[in-house]
Every structure is written in C-alpha cells, then in structure tokens.
C-alpha cells in the first residue's frame, strides 16, 4: 500500500485503513492508497505552516527553477504517467498522454516562468501596492483530470510562494503520487508540498475547516463545493471553487453546420463525457434541426468504445460503477421526459468495465432534467430554437456558466452572441482551448479563475504601503 507524503517524507496514515484503486476498464483492484484521517491533515497543515516562512521568502526565480525542473521531469516521464492515468481513470492512452499529462507539464512550465516574471509591486499615487503569498493552501481535486486539476492549483500556489496540502480524489489518485515523487526528486523543500489521500467527508472536510489553512481551492461538484465553502466560512478563509457545468454549443443559422456539429460532438464525448466544460447541449435553429440531428448521429457512430490501451478506442470507461449508474439513470430519465433517443442508450457495450455508449437525445426541450443537470457522461442533448434571442435565453437558462461555444458565418457575429452568454469561456467558431487563458465560471459554476496570470492572482494577498 502507498503512503502519505508529509513534511518531505513518506509516512503511514494514522487511520491504518486503505482505499482500493480500481481499473474501470477491467473492474480489478490495481493499487491501494491510505484512507487519511484528521490527524494526518493536522500533521500536513503543520508541516506546510512551518515551511511557509522559508518558501515565501525564497526568491521567485529560485521557486521558478524548481518548478521548471519538475515540469521537465514530468515530460520525461510522460509515457509512464499517461499509462497510469489510462489505468486508474480510463482515459484512452493517446488522450491520457496529450491532454492528461503533457498539457499539465506545459502548465507547470508556464508557472515556472510566471513565478519570476509576474509583477509583484505597483505604484498608485503615494502608495506602493504589493502582492504577497496568501499562506497555506488546501487543494482538493477531482478524478476526471487527475493531474491537470492538481497542477492548475499546486503550480500557481507554489509559484506565488504558498505552501500546499493536496487531497486528490480517492477514485483516481495515482497521478498525484507520481507528481509527489517528482517534487521530492527535484528537491522541493520539506513541507512545501504535502499529499494526504482519503475520502472527502473525512480528509477534505478536515482541510476545508482547518484554522491554519488560509485558502481552499476546490474542484468538483457544485453540491460538494457548497459544503467546502460553508466549512471555510467559519474561519473567514478564502475559497476558489471550480464546479459543475452544462455548457451550450450555440449554432447560428448561417454557421458551417457540419463543422459545428462535428466539433460539438467531439467536445461532448471527450474523456467519456467526464469534463466539466463539455458542450453537452447543442442548440440549433429549427430550420436546420433535423440535419443537425442526422449529422450528430453519424458523428457519434465513429466514437468507438473500448479498452483505453487500444489505439482504435475513442471513448473509454466511466471512472466507476457509481458513475456509470448515475449516467444510466439520466439516460432513463431523458426517455421518461419524452426526449427521443437517437443514438446510444443504456445497454452495456462490453461485458466488463464501466462503459456507457455515447448517447444522443433529440426532441429535448428547455427545462428537462437532462437539459438542466450535469450528467458527467457521454450524453448529448440537441435543443431547437427559433430566434437568436431564444438561443441565448436557452444557453443562459441553467444554474451553470462554465463554458460554451458559438458558431456563425463570421467571427464578428459569433463574438456578438458569445458576449451575451453568461459563462466563463466561449469558443468562437471552434477556437482552441488555451491553457494560458483564465478558466472558471459564472453562477453555480464557481468562484475565481485558474490557469495563466489570472490563476496566479488567486494565491496572493494585496497590501498597500502608504509612502
């Protein structure tokens, strides 16, 4: 069984208990991690608190060098880490390499540069405004992007001069261990980064409510985010929340329908639909609706379900039996609501593993449960509209506001509509994801931003010196 990483050393958990790590493609136990206890959180936070004065006083350029060394070592081990991610959470190997491993390595490298280049002082009249690290950061991360979500929190926190206690998801924790080993090997000072595995209600809640934690950065469901924020509020500590999404792909009548549908389907099914920013709602003008449905069904047929290590696989398993059951319930609910199942369904595509067929619903109306709630699986809802105002109203008509897309014949028209969407990111005519741009949401999709300079700003306190 693995151990916790606290104060620069590997140690057993005070609980003496373990959590099985299951390969979702085979349903076999592949590893065990400690089920951390509140005493472990206490030890990790104490180690981070002790390390904070020295780390925060370390010149930013020196912090950057250590992060750069970690980024380089992660790149060198990318194949190994990608195989780990493909095994413990089910991403197809190619995706696990390119998006789940090499992209986080790039993000880590970007913060190595920002550590030294980001301005920390500004003059405002007779005041010198300075940025200082917020302190000890509790980072609580999910299983769907098990390395990227860690790096998006830990890298800027360390770059800013904060120390960190990380709780990765117990469902897919192995990438976190790989990163901890890398930080140890490059010589990150003891206590600057600490890893406590375990369950959210035990370890996560102990971290969020700990009086010596200065900021909690959480990614996960909106329900869990509310709980984290409530616990943090007792100590009046800062929170950064990246929560759920129900993102809309708005296709205007003059758009390239073929491209819009193809890209929209791909975005919906990426990572088996287990992506908070997935374009799960396709909003299409009634005049082109039937054609869009036909194109979506044709595109969906190309998404082969299978073993993550098979090069022909485009959709791997869902991460767990519980997640598969959740998605199946939503597919059943969609049919009960009167939506029309035009692709996929609840049948098991393979005899073993937590697989769900890529699924498409037509005849979806605003207000249906499958149109409003985050399913977190490969399920697409196609919704008709009549006017541009109605399309915007539908797009904005959920509690979420994380991402979205707009397609039109001209960039100018697409941007005009994109500006009306109440969401943190909008892809215009297929614009690529930019890991240096701010990522985060409006409404119940969260508080704060990750990635790039905006993500770094989350980990500073602001002080004014009146001169």
Active-site residue set = 242
Residue 282, token pair as written in the block: 């396709």
Non-local CB neighbours of 336 within 8 Å, separated by 6+ positions: none
Cα first-last separation, the chain: 57
SS3 label, residue 183: helix
Q: CA 121 to CA 128: how far, in whole Å?
A: 7
Phi (first) and psi of residue 141, to 5 degrees = -125, 160
Q: CA 148 to CA 460: how far, in whole Å?
A: 21
Could you tell me the CA-to-CA distances from 309 to 175, 269, 322, 323, 358 in Å, in that order? 17, 18, 23, 21, 19
Helices (H), 310-463: 321-336, 369-372, 388-395, 411-418, 452-457
Quick one: which of 377, 368, 362 has its CA closest to 336? Answer: 368
Q: CA 419 to CA 142: how far, in whole Å?
A: 30
**Residues 86-97 as b or e (16 or more Cβ within 10 Å = b):** bbbbbbbbebbb
């Amino acid at each position: 069984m693995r151990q916790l990483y606290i104060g620069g050393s590997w140690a057993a958990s005070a609980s003496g208990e373990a959590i099985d790590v299951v390969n979702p493609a085979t349903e076999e136990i592949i590893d065990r991690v400690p089920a951390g206890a509140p005493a472990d959180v206490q030890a990790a936070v104490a180690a981070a608190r002790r390390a904070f004065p020295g780390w925060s006083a370390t010149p930013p350029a020196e912090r950057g060098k250590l992060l750069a060394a970690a980024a380089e070592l992660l790149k060198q081990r990318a194949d190994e880490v990608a195989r780990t991610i493909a095994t413990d959470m089910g991403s197809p190997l190619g995706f696990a390499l390119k998006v789940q491993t090499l992209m986080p390595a790039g993000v880590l490298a970007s913060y190595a540069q920002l550590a030294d280049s980001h301005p920390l002082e500004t003059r405002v009249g007779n005041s010198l405004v300075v940025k200082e690290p917020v302190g000890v950061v509790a980072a609580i991360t999910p299983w769907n992007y098990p390395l990227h979500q860690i790096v998006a929190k830990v890298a800027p926190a360390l770059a800013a001069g904060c120390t960190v206690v990380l709780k990765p998801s117990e469902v897919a924790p192995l990438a976190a261990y790989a990163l901890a080993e890398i930080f140890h090997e490059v010589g990150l000072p003891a206590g600057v980064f600490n890893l406590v595995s375990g369950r959210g209600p035990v370890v996560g809640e102990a971290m969020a409510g700990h009086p010596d934690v200065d900021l909690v950065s959480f990614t996960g469901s909106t329900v869990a985010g509310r709980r984290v924020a409530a616990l943090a509020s007792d100590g009046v500590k800062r929170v950064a929340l990246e929560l759920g999404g129900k993102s809309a792909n708005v296709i205007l009548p003059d758009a390239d329908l073929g491209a819009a549908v193809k890209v929209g389907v791909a975005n919906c099914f990426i990572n088996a639909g287990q992506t908070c920013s997935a374009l799960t709602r396709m909003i299409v003008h009634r005049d082109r609706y039937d054609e869009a449905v036909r194109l979506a069904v044709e595109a969906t047929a190309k998404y082969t379900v299978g073993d993550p290590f098979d090069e022909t696989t485009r959709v791997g398993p869902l991460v767990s039996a519980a997640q598969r059951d959740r998605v199946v319930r939503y597919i059943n609910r969609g049919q009960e609501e009167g939506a029309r199942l035009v692709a996929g369904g609840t049948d098991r595509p393979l005899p073993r593993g937590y697989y769900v067929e890529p699924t498409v619903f037509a005849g979806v109306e605003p207000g249906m449960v499958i149109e409003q709630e985050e399913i977190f699986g490969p399920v697409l809802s196609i919704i008709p509209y009549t006017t541009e105002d109605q399309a915007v109203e539908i797009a904005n008509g959920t509690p979420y506001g994380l991402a979205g897309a707009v397609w039109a014949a001209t960039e100018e028209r697409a941007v005009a509509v994109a500006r009306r969407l109440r969401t943190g990111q909008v892809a215009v005519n297929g614009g690529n994801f930019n890991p240096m741009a701010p990522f985060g949401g409006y409404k119940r999709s969260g508080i704060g931003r990750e990635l790039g300079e905006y993500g770094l700003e989350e980990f500073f306190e602001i002080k004014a010196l009146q001169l």
